[in-house]
Chains A and B, each alone.
Chain A
């Protein structure tokens, strides 16, 4: 089975800190995605990457950046964490061509205080 591993299940950070959320997949998938999930808003796409060193903005990229230096790793960076970035963050990956939907990690619940 494909595994998508998010390094932390729970994270508490202070306002203004730089925060790194790590995501690693073990099946050589080309495409990787970062979503945030909030009650009543569903999943919203932050950034995605179709291949190494490639990145594209999703629907809500403000306040975030990403890094994809290796195919298996896709990092989400909060340059200066704010309380409105408290959320559940979900990473997903997908092969190309895509015969299946995404494979998701278990999520990181980030609290910014």
Chain B
């Protein structure tokens, strides 16, 4: 069965520092991978997705993620965080493009001024 693990429930970084949020997935074949962000009181917004091709994908708001098949990981990165990046981030996986998406439990990002 597909599953997604986000090992960090909370992460705190200083504004301007770099960020990496970890995501590990469990799936037999090449999965379809997503990162979503949820600002307080809002729904989820798609940051980026990986379906195939280049393993480094660029997303909105300056985020990127790298698919590493050997490590079953899809970590999210940003070189310099802004206070507005404080939110909850969800990694997600699907077995194919049209399959329903399985979400991780989320990582809440806190930004120190």
In the complex, the chain A residue whose C-beta lies closest to that of B6 is A42
Contact B43 A33 (CB under 8 A): no
What's the Cα separation between A48 and B90 when bound, in Å? 20
Q: Which residues of A contact B90 (CB under 8 A)?
A: 42-43
Kindly supply a per-residue 1/0 record for chain B positions 10-36, scoring 1 wherever the CB is within 8 Å of any chain A CB and 0 otherwise: 000000000000000000000000101
Contact B105 A40 (CB under 8 A): yes
Known: A33-B100, A42-B103. A106 touches B49 (CB 8 A): no
Contact A42 B46 (CB under 8 A): no
Report the minimal beta-carbon distance from A71 to chain B, rounded to whole angstroms: 17
Contact A98 B97 (CB under 8 A): yes
Contact B49 A42 (CB under 8 A): no
What's the Cα separation between A60 and B101 when bound, in Å? 15
Specify which of B34, B92, B97, B103 is in contact with A99 (CB 8 Å cutoff): B97
Contact B42 A106 (CB under 8 A): yes
In the complex, the chain A residue whose C-beta lies closest to that of B102 is A45
Contact A48 B49 (CB under 8 A): no
Dominant SS among interface residues on chain B: loop
Contact B43 A98 (CB under 8 A): no
Q: Which residues of A contact B101 (CB under 8 A)?
A: 101-102
What's the Cα separation between A80 and B106 when bound, in Å? 30
Q: Which residues of B contact A100 (CB under 8 A)?
A: 46, 49
Contact A101 B98 (CB under 8 A): no
Contact B36 A101 (CB under 8 A): yes
Per the 8 Å Cβ criterion, residues 91-106 of A in contact with B are 92, 96-106
A-B residue pairs in contact (CB < 8 Å), sample of 12: A33-B100, A40-B105, A58-B100, A90-B44, A92-B43, A96-B98, A97-B97, A97-B98, A101-B49, A102-B44, A104-B36, A104-B43
Per the 8 Å Cβ criterion, residues 60-112 of A in contact with B are 90, 92, 96-107
Report the minimal beta-carbon distance from B21 to chain A, rounded to whole angstroms: 14
Kindly supply a per-residue 1/0 record for chain B positions 27-60, scoring 1 wherever the CB is within 8 Å of any chain A CB and 0 otherwise: 0000000101000011111100100000000000
What's the Cα separation between A28 and B38 when bound, in Å? 24
Report the minimal beta-carbon distance from A109 to chain B, rounded to whole angstroms: 8
